[in-house]
Every structure is written in C-alpha cells, then in structure tokens.
Structure 1
Amino acid sequence: MEVSYKWLQEYIELPESPEEVGKRLTGTGLEVEGIEKIEAIPGGLAGVVIGQVLTCEKHPDADKLSITTVDVGGDQPLNIVCGAPNVAAGQKVVVALVGATLHPTNGAGTPAEPFQIKKAKIRGAASEGMICAEDEIGLGTSHAGIMVLDTDVPNGTPAASYFNLEADYQIAIGLTPNRIDAASHLGVARDLKAALNRPLRWPSVDAFAVQNQDLTLDVRVEAPEACPRYTGLTISGLSVGESPDWLKQRLLSIGLNPINNVVDVTNFVCHDLGQPLHAFDADKITGGQVIVKTLPEGTPFVTLDGVERKLTATDLMICNGAAEPAEAAMCIAGVFGGQTSGVTTATTRIFLESAYFSPTSVRKTAQHHGLKTDASFRFERGTDPNMPVFALKRAALLIQAVAGGTISSDITDIYPQPIEPFRVVVRYRNVDRLIGIRIDRDEIHRILEALDIQAEDRTDEGFVAVVPPYRVDVTREADVTEEILRIYGLDNVPLSAHLGADSLSEFPATDPNQLQSRVGQALAANGFFEILTLSLTRPSYHNAIRQILPGADVTLLNPLSEELSVMRQTLLFSALETLVYNSNRRQKDLSVFEFGKVYYKADSDNGTGKYVEKMRLSLAMMGNQQAESWLTKGQPIAFHDLATAVQRVLNLFRIRTFDTQPADATLFQYGLTYLVNKKPLVSLGLVQPKLTRLVDLKQPVFYADFDWEALLKQYSAKARYEEVPRFPEVRRDLSLVLDQAVTFEQISRLAYQTERKLLRTVNVFDVYEGENLGAGKKSYSVSFTLQDPTQTLTDAAIDKTMQRLMSTFEKDLGAVIRK
C-alpha cells in the first residue's frame, strides 16, 4: 500500500523527514518497504529561478536575438542571449541557470529529450543561462515566447517554490492482513498520532448542508446480514470533467490514474479515510429505487470492465426498480460497478453510496468472480461501520468543489443494528508478563487513548478495554498488549540484566537451515539453479499419480482458481512447470533444485485424518549435460548424471552405504530408490513421459525426490576419521553371465556378505546382451577392489577371496564365470 508524505501532513504535523517518518511507522508495525521521491514535473525545476530582465538590446549580428542582463539574486547580473520575440527590460521571467537540466515537453504535452544548460557564445556574445518558455521547463506546450510573470517575489526565488511544485514522497507500506484499519492516510496518521504523541487534524465537514429535496430516492436494504449499514444522498446539477491539478496530484502520488472529477473524489476519499464509495448516474436508476438485495442464481451482469459475469444466489447487489433481474442489477456490492449505471461525461445527477458491507459476503463474492479492487480489499477485511456518514459528507463537499451541483436529498442512513465496540478484560500482570517489563500504568492508558481504545472499570489489577469496531484485529487481551508494546517501542524493552549463557535457547545438535544452505551451495556449484514455486497446484496432477500419494488432498475452501485449488503432495510438477517455462523460451538445458513442503491429509478410520506437511528436496535435469562446441558434440543428460548429483548430496550427510530397489513405475520410466534401514531416502530416475505431457513438456526429464526429514535423521555432526591406508589396493575383474532378471544390486549385496574383511568396493563397468549368450541372459563386467589395512595382500589371499566370491555367485545366482 502506498501513502503520500504531503497527504499525511494534512492530518498531522510532520517536521520529520520522510525517512524518519518511515522508521517510526516501521517501529509501530507498519513496515515501510520503500520511499520514492515524486516530482510534479521531471527534474523538479532544480536550478531554475525567478529573475528580472534589467536590460535588453538587439544582438548586433543576429536580427532575431537579443542580449539581456538578468538579475537572479546573485552578486552580478547574468548575460543571457535570448531568441524570444517578447523579451523586454523590466520583465519578471523564469531563468535556468548554468548546470540546470531541463525536461521539456513537445507540442502534444509529452516529455521530450532533456538537455543541460551550459555557458556558451552565441554569435560572439556570451550567454550564462536561459530565459525559459513554458514548454522548455515542462509546465505546458506553448513556445510562442518566454514566460512573463506578474509577481513581486524576490529575484533568485526557486521556480519550484513559486509554482508550488514541491516534491512529494511515496511511502510504500507492507500492510499485513490484520491491519486493514491502516489502509488509508487517516489510518496511518492515527498510528503516527500515538507514536509521536501529537494531535490529529480531521478534515472538516461543517460546511455540509442539504440545499433541496429535488431528487429523493427510495432506498431499501433487503439483506441486512450482508449489508448492516447503508447510506447515500443525491447531488444534482454537477458537471463531470477533468479534475483540478491538486486532486490529480494526490492520486498520482499514490500510483492512481485520474479518471474524472466525480470518480476521482470517490477514489480520493477511499484512500483518505479508508471508506470506499460508489457514484451512480441517478438518471439510470429505474423507478427511483435503490434496493440492496441478492438476485437469482445465474443472472447475467456486465461489470465496468465489459465482462459479463453470472451471479450466484449469494452475491449482494445494488439494484434499481426494474422488474427483470438483469436490468435491475447496477453494482456488485462492495466489489465492482456495472457498465450501464456508472458516471460518464453526460452525467448531471448522481446517487452517492457509502456503506458497511459484511466482510464474509464481500470476500466470498470477490473470490468467486476473481475480482480484486480497492473497495473489495477493504470491505472483505473489515471497514469502520461508523465512517460511512462522515465519508459521505466529505465526498459530497469535494464533489461540489470540483464538479459543482447541489445536494438534493437528505442523507439516507439505514443502520438497524449498530455494531458495538469490542470489550476486552485486561490484567496488568498479563501485560507485564507478555511484554517482559512493567510499563507505567499512566503510559499504558496514554497509549491506548491515543489509539482510540478507552479504558473502563479501572482497578489496581486491570481494566476493560473498549476497542472501536474499526480495529477488527484487537479482540483479545494479547491483542491489547500488542497495541501497547508496538507504540511503546520494542527497542525500549531492555534486555535482562542477568542475561547469560543459561538464558539462551538451546541450539539443536543438527541445524537444518545450515545443512540446507550447504546442500544448496553444493548443488549450485555443480550447475544447478534453485527455484521457489507455489505450494498450490492443480488437482489434475494429483489425479495422475493418485495411487502412490500418501493421503487425501488438502483442498482450499476458497480457491483463487481451479488451477490453484489444492496443496501439492509432490514437488515433481512444480519442477516440470519451471522446466517447460524455460524450454518454451529456448532454455532447454537446465538443472534445478527446490526445497519445499508437501501437504496431505492422513487417512484414518473415521475419515477425520490429521493434516500433515513434510519437507522435501527435489532435483530435476533436462537437455544436455555438456553444451555443443567445436570440439565436442552436445552430451545429453543421462541417469548417471542425476545419480552423481544425488551422491553428492548423500556425501554431505556422510551416507556411504544404502540398499536399492526399483523406483515406483507410476513416476519413473526407470530408476532406483535408495533405502537406509529399509526406509526410502531418495527416489531417482527418468520421469514417465505421460507425466511430462501433462505440462506440455516434450523433453525427457530426470528427477530425484529426497525425504529431507529422513536425511536429517541420518546426519551426524561427529566426523569420523580413518588413517590413510599404508598398504596398496588390488583390483580384480570378473565377467558374469546371468539371467536377465538378476540386478547389479544383488551382485553387490552378495559380494559384501561373502567377503566382509577385504572387499572395499564393487563396480560394474560393462553390461552386454547378445544372441551368443543365449536367450534371457546378460553379461556383467564387474570390478572388485580388495585391501588389507594391516599388510600387503599376497596372491594366495587374493586368489582365495576371488574363488570364494565366484563360488557364491555360481551357487546363489546361477552365474557362469567367463575368463
């Protein structure tokens, strides 16, 4: 949310700089994310002053030029050559000094190329500045001559000050959902009032008066639950057109584009007071009736953006007296206006609405139709039910000021059941306990009073806080304590005088964040890019792998769209969407990783399963492992490239041994699952093409999915050191002809079981299948590394070990040993 520094100054005295104000706001919980200088015109007329022409003579060598001397408030007048036909002695003029950068406009009023004023000689005459026309300084489009001012301001007065072009500052606040009360300049000023202990200046509506009763409408509320309060009035004889400069500047300072004077006033008041309003063309209100009600399911309604929407039976609508529902609908209450009832340049009479709508009703409607507006943003979080009439009067006065007209009806105020303030019992001992120190009781009540929170039934033990209904987030004792603390200042709460090592929290033996950082750095160093994706995904993804998911989907009750309606149960599709996005932009060689959570609802007998979230690590690779060059061809990524990356991660956790089994065929065309203590640690392999086709990805993808929590359990912070072996290793190779069903994992496991003392590693370096081996057979070429840490191996010991291995392979696997 953006607020204007100068706009805030209308509510409260602020001698502090925008940066200082930003620090105070951040201290109160309204975190300032940035401050940007806003200039009325580019450059802000820096280096441009008001001067007076002292002398003016024709240039001896140029008929259209004049040589002038100009007093700009300095010790000596400036010599300036001027080509304007209307320059004359005695004039007050606008002068750009040497060094000033001007931002001119062209004939259409749009910015032209800026230029800098320099000392120059023009036809032999020295020129030390420039007397300006209005287009040359960006104030207009005229270039008929220099600007001649009717003023007696001192020479040297900055032009920005003379033209009232002081810079404003846009303050960007990261507004949290609970602080909707601060979604306006008044709301932000309220916090500054409490933090700075200064009075607040409310805008006056004392001038409001009803001029006549010429346009009185019949206003009814048929859905009071969805619209607890509805107010309105009419204004006749107004003229819709362009807004004055001050109003346009206010809107532009917070990033809003002016539309017309009536609509601009409603937008202004929305951001001024936090109360959204809507103006209807009164001549388009059929039957002179305004009815707040719901319409039948499926009623078509065209909104201001020209889109036809089908209404639900719970959508609250502002309607006229037409019999047909489609013709009666004028506005989706608190969300968006209709195309046929809005204010246009032909409008001369309006009905101005100011209401309090139920947050639940507005939220449900806005989410169903996918509409997010300034009005719905405020209504669905909870506006001030006591503000509508004051905002209505303020808006009516402003509309009269900028568009003319007369107020032609009394204020209609339908408020059958007033919303009462929240009453919260507060105990001082609980305030002291939560804050950590004892704050003076008078200071507590000063803070609360500054925040419009009254204290009743005060005793030595506590009081009852009466919280105004616009503070929808302050309903508990802890909330009141938070209000006290954020204004008192977190920085003013000292650390304990007895702080010591025993006061600090215990640090875990294994720091998950540190390990995550180490793994991320290792992957990034080996060509992987980290990605961060949404936890929301499509139900169709889960349906494709339903049989292997651990539980039921966690479905959103109020999804933004069908594509983002469930919480993900796997990181696979997040990775695939990232890969296809890059592939569609000709980035086809890519390796990515992501740390992220998956979510599901655990199965249970009674159907009320527990919600579960687990941390996972995923790797995904596609394209070439090595780019094509003049020296080598592109080398496509293969399974062993992914397996190498997986092994790097396992090495960081000091995991050297594990069992393997084939990966689940639902996800992988082929692959492996690594197990430790019979529990899956990571699954890796080539993703099934039918899954990549779900995201329209045509390239093969290799994917690995780690159980991050299981990895952390395997990690030991204690490093193990072994002495460097003093005796050499010995390698022996065997070629084994086996049934095709026998895997290398079986060979490796059997080898380690047979020889536990000398066998260090087992590796397959070739696999062969051919007709000469016989049907259903294949050949493994396997290397065995042997080593004795206590002595050099003899040929006899080596032969004995290899003979035992061969016998085991022949007996248990039916192997034929080929020499």
Structure 2
Amino acid sequence: PRKINRFILPVSCERINRLIGKEIPVDDTRNILTRLGINILSENFPEMQVEIPPRKTDMHNEADVAEEILRIYGYNRIETGTHINSSLTFSVRPDRNRMINVISEMLSSNGFNEIMCNSLVPSAWFDENPDFDKTTIVRLANPLSSDLNVMRQSLLPVGLSVIARNINHQNYNLKLYEFGNCYFYDNPSATRPVDRYSEKMSLGLFLTGNRYRQSWNEKNTQGDFFFLKSFIEMIFRRTGLEPESLNLDESRKSCFSDSIVYLKNDKVLAEAGRISEAYRLKFDIEQDVYYGNIEWDYLLNLTTDHRVSFRELPKFPWVRRDLALLVDREVRFSQIRDIALKTNKQIIREVGLFDVYESESLGLNRKSYAVSFILQDQQRTLTEKQIDKIMNDLIKELNTKLGAVLR
C-alpha cells in the first residue's frame, strides 16, 4: 500500500474572516482547527500553514477551511450585515429563458402539454428519409444500441413516437409542444473538432384528434391545419413579429401532404402542415397528425430590437366592406391580402377571410373567397365617395393581378 501524504495549505485569518463575514477571534480559530484534527504547522499572524488530514478529501483551498470553521463556530452566530453588496449584470435581449417560459405558459394555458424527448434516436429515422442530408447526421462513435446511435436533426420523428405511444394507451386527443435542440455535422473542414458541429433550438407543435375535450357545451371538432396555423401565428405575435410581414411558400418535404412555410429574408422561419399518410404509417398512426416547427434561435434574432410601442386611440370610426371574389383554385388568401395592403396601406387596416366556397357550379378549378376589409383614416372620417373609390381601385388591382371577379 502507498502512504497518503497530508496536504499542506497556506491560509490567512483575515481572508477567512472576510469570507465568513465576521471577525472570529484567533484563539477560537486555533481551537476549532485543532478539534477538527487540522494541525497548525507554522503561524505568522495573520498567515498560517495548516496540515489537512487524509480523511478531509473535500478540503482543497482556503474557502474549504473557512467553511469548516464556520460549521463548528455556528451559522446562527453570524449577524445580518447593515449593508448589501450587489453587482450589475448585462443580459442579451430578448432573454432566451424568459421567452421560453412566456411561450410555454401561453401554450399550456391553451391546452397544450409539454414533452421532453431523448436527443438520441435511431439512425433509420433519418437515413431512410430524403428530407434529411445523411452527411450532416451526428453519429455516435460507441452507441449503446442501434436505437440510440445518432443525434436527432428534427423534433418530428420522436414527437410522432410519443403520439403513437399515447394512442396505444387510448389518449387520442393530443396537443403537445417541445423546446428541443437539433444537432448537425455541417462544417467538416473546421480546424477544431468542436466547430464541426452545430446545435439549433426548435419549437415543435403537435396536434391530433379533437381540438378540445368532450363537453356538453362544446362540439367534438377535429383539429386541422388552420387550427395549428393559428397557434404558430399566435407565437409570432407574442414575440413581437407580425405574420403579415413574412413571405409564404409551400414545403417540399415528403413528410407533409398539406403545408405552409414562413420565410423571412429568404430564410425558413417556420413550417407547418399535415403529416402524410405514408410517413404516419411508419409509426403505426392511423389518425391525422398536424406538425409545426419554429426555428427558435432565428425567431429570437428577429425580435432582438423589438420594443413595445403605443399610440393614441383613433378618433375617427372604421368602416367594413365585404367582397365575394371568384378566383382560380391556386390563388391563396395571402396574395389577396398583400395586394390589398399595397393598394392603400394608409386606409386599409385589416384584411380577413371569413368564408371559402368550392363547387362545380363556380366553374372548373374555381373557388370563392368571402373577404372583409377594415378601412380607417387617422385624420378624418371617410365618406362614401372615398370608400367607393378605394374599393373600386382594389377590385381593379385584384382583377389585373389575380384574375379575380366579383360574384
């Protein structure tokens, strides 16, 4: 056996007293150290050298000696000071953790349940899916099993496995969300190995089954694509980002059958849609599932300069006008809204869609949109003549750019 040498440690009574916050008499300090089996080898007040016994394996510095002295001296004998010391700290805005808590509380209050899933997943989820780049998958060098051999690149597969498990336990109506990191090996040429990998936080939303619990005063309405879309846009508005300022597109991913993509500066901010039947059946899920993904880090970057603003309530009344527009089936409501706001942004405040009608009687590949327009001038009350001119100009623009006609 090898003899363990005692640890020699230089300490200062003055520094110990400053750490404790009270002047402890030197005789009391000597007495406590002796009772603890700590030998004082030399003393040149206020400095001394002490010998730490081998059994005190957690004593490595002066602060540890002060803690031992205070434990014997008594915490209750340390009086409360008459002044408070504080330090100023700077935190990056918006506060990341605070924003997560705000959105979590909002979603939970709307009936969502938070899930926390393992970041280690089977490689088959990504190797066999054309939506993911195999070269950027982070693979474990020594995995525990083939079910835990890569780091996830999306919250979708593991979320679907949670839904499948709940359905198997007869929980058919689910609203779930998860804040989670996704991992990528996307910079293989970096000099430092750690720089070859990136970590991105995402917010995933999952809907399946009925919107709300069964109740005598609530119909059993199935959740759908637009129900999910409303929550995504609710999150945007809560973080200070107006959905109308984003560009829209459709996802090309094979996991979606119907989808929408939100773009900002030609970069994907969020995507949402109905999961395709082929992808659902891989997880043995027969009922419809709707999934939304928000690039959380990018969203926070966009809202860095966001500030709460206010203005005086308008003194003049607003006016509503409705139009029933016959358009091609490929025309989206967002196109109508964008044209309306560009036509007269100072007067047209809001554009809303309150009915969609499709029938063979409308013509081949045609549908009808019932659209509402809120008009308001901040400087004066609008007259009927002004309102008619604005609406006529708008109808001409819609006809020219979209081929829309009044029903």
| TM-score category, normalised to shorter length | 0.7 to 0.9
1:499 matched residue in structure 2: 84
Q: Report the CA distance between 1:485 and its aligned residue.
A: 6.6
Q: Structure 1 residues 632 and 617 mapped into 2: Cα distance closer, same or farther (>3 Å)? A: closer
Q: How does 1:488-567 map to 2 (within 5 A)?
A: 497-499=82-84, 503-506=86-89, 510=94, 512-543=96-127, 547=132, 552-553=137-138, 555=140, 562-564=146-148, 566-567=150-151
2:332 matched residue in structure 1: 743
Name the SS for the 1:625 alignment partner.
coil
Q: State yes or no: 1:702 paired with 2:290.
A: yes
Measure the CA separation in 1 of the matches of 2:39 and 2:50: 8
Q: Structure 1 residues 632 and 732 mapped into 2: Cα distance closer, same or farther (>3 Å)? A: closer
Per-residue Cα deviation, 1:101-140 (whole angstroms, up to 9, x for no partner) = xxxxxxxxxxxxxxxxxxxxxxxxxxxxxxxxxxxxxxxx
Q: State yes or no: 1:728 paired with 2:318.
A: yes
Q: Report the CA distance between 1:644 and its aligned residue.
A: 2.2
Name the SS for the 2:316 alignment partner.
coil
Contact 2:321 2:372 in 1 (8 A): yes
Measure the CA separation in 2 of the matches of 1:515 and 1:522: 11
- 1:793 alignment partner, one of 354, 378, 382: 382
1:650 matched residue in structure 2: 236
Q: Structure 1 residues 791 and 600 mapped into 2: Cα distance closer, same or farther (>3 Å)? A: same
Per-residue Cα deviation, 1:707-761 (whole angstroms, up to 9, x for no partner) = 4444445274634244045313221314142372x43333322332222111122
2:222 matched residue in structure 1: 636
TM-score normalised over the length of structure 2: 0.76
2:394 matched residue in structure 1: 805
Per-residue Cα deviation, 1:463-504 (whole angstroms, up to 9, x for no partner) = 476563883x6666776676667777777766654326xx25
Q: Structure 1 residues 474 and 570 mapped into 2: Cα distance closer, same or farther (>3 Å)? A: farther
- Show structure 1 runs of 5+ residues with no match: 1-414
Q: Structure 1 residues 804 and 454 mapped into 2: Cα distance closer, same or farther (>3 Å)? A: farther
Q: % of aligned pairs identical? A: 29
Measure the CA separation in 2 of the matches of 1:678 and 1:464: 66
Contact 2:349 2:373 in 1 (8 A): yes
* Paired letter, 2:209: G
Q: Structure 1 residues 464 and 525 mapped into 2: Cα distance closer, same or farther (>3 Å)? A: same
Q: How does 1:107-146 map to 2 (within 5 A)?
A: none
Per-residue Cα deviation, 1:686-711 (whole angstroms, up to 9, x for no partner) = 23445544544333222223344444
Contact 1:528 1:592 in 2 (8 A): yes
Q: State yes or no: 1:674 paired with 2:266.
A: no
Per-residue Cα deviation, 1:31-84 (whole angstroms, up to 9, x for no partner) = xxxxxxxxxxxxxxxxxxxxxxxxxxxxxxxxxxxxxxxxxxxxxxxxxxxxxx
Q: Structure 1 residues 593 and 432 mapped into 2: Cα distance closer, same or farther (>3 Å)? A: farther
Q: Report the CA distance between 1:790 and its aligned residue.
A: 2.8
Per-residue Cα deviation, 1:365-386 (whole angstroms, up to 9, x for no partner) = xxxxxxxxxxxxxxxxxxxxxx
* Paired letter, 2:138: D
Per-residue Cα deviation, 1:609-662 (whole angstroms, up to 9, x for no partner) = 435555443322111114567888632111121122223333333433431332
* Paired letter, 2:308: K
Number of matched pairs: 396
Name the SS for the 1:803 alignment partner.
helix
Q: Structure 1 residues 690 and 757 mapped into 2: Cα distance closer, same or farther (>3 Å)? A: same
Per-residue Cα deviation, 1:446-478 (whole angstroms, up to 9, x for no partner) = 76777777676776546476563883x666677
Q: Report the CA distance between 1:586 and its aligned residue.
A: 0.8
Per-residue Cα deviation, 1:341-369 (whole angstroms, up to 9, x for no partner) = xxxxxxxxxxxxxxxxxxxxxxxxxxxxx
Q: Structure 1 residues 805 and 504 mapped into 2: Cα distance closer, same or farther (>3 Å)? A: same
Measure the CA separation in 1 of the matches of 2:42 and 2:285: 68
2:211 matched residue in structure 1: 625
Contact 2:256 2:274 in 1 (8 A): yes
* Paired letter, 1:730: R
Q: Structure 1 residues 738 and 587 mapped into 2: Cα distance closer, same or farther (>3 Å)? A: same
Name the SS for the 1:749 alignment partner.
helix
* Paired letter, 1:773: G
Measure the CA separation in 1 of the matches of 2:15 and 2:186: 38
- Show structure 2 runs of 5+ residues with no match: none
Name the SS for the 1:519 alignment partner.
helix
Measure the CA separation in 2 of the matches of 1:441 and 1:686: 74
Per-residue Cα deviation, 1:408-434 (whole angstroms, up to 9, x for no partner) = xxxxxxx5xx37458475554876777
1:752 matched residue in structure 2: 341
Q: Report the CA distance between 1:505 and its aligned residue.
A: 3.9
Measure the CA separation in 1 of the matches of 2:282 and 2:250: 24
- 1:577 alignment partner, one of 139, 161, 168: 161
Contact 1:423 1:467 in 2 (8 A): yes
Contact 2:176 2:206 in 1 (8 A): yes
2:356 matched residue in structure 1: 766
Name the SS for the 1:547 alignment partner.
coil
Q: Report the CA distance between 1:535 and its aligned residue.
A: 4.4
Contact 1:687 1:700 in 2 (8 A): yes
* Paired letter, 2:165: Y
Q: Report the CA distance between 1:577 and its aligned residue.
A: 3.4
1:336 matched residue in structure 2: none
Name the SS for the 2:132 alignment partner.
helix
2:170 matched residue in structure 1: 586
Please, what is the CA RMSD of the aligned residues? Answer: 4.4
Q: Structure 1 residues 421 and 581 mapped into 2: Cα distance closer, same or farther (>3 Å)? A: farther
Q: Report the CA distance between 1:589 and its aligned residue.
A: 0.7
Contact 1:736 1:781 in 2 (8 A): no
Q: Structure 1 residues 746 and 445 mapped into 2: Cα distance closer, same or farther (>3 Å)? A: farther
* Paired letter, 2:356: D
Measure the CA separation in 2 of the matches of 1:440 and 1:646: 64
Contact 1:682 1:706 in 2 (8 A): yes
Contact 2:173 2:209 in 1 (8 A): yes
* Paired letter, 2:320: V
* Paired letter, 1:723: L
Contact 1:616 1:705 in 2 (8 A): yes
Measure the CA separation in 2 of the matches of 1:451 and 1:651: 62
Looking at CA atoms only, which structure, 1 or 2, has the larger radius of gyration? 1
Q: Report the CA distance between 1:771 and its aligned residue.
A: 8.5
Contact 1:536 1:565 in 2 (8 A): yes
* Paired letter, 1:603: N
Measure the CA separation in 1 of the matches of 2:149 and 2:72: 39
Name the SS for the 2:162 alignment partner.
helix
TM-score normalised over the length of structure 1: 0.41
Contact 1:424 1:477 in 2 (8 A): no
Name the SS for the 2:345 alignment partner.
coil
The structure, 1 or 2, with the larger RCO (C-alpha pairs under 8 Å, 6+ apart) is 2
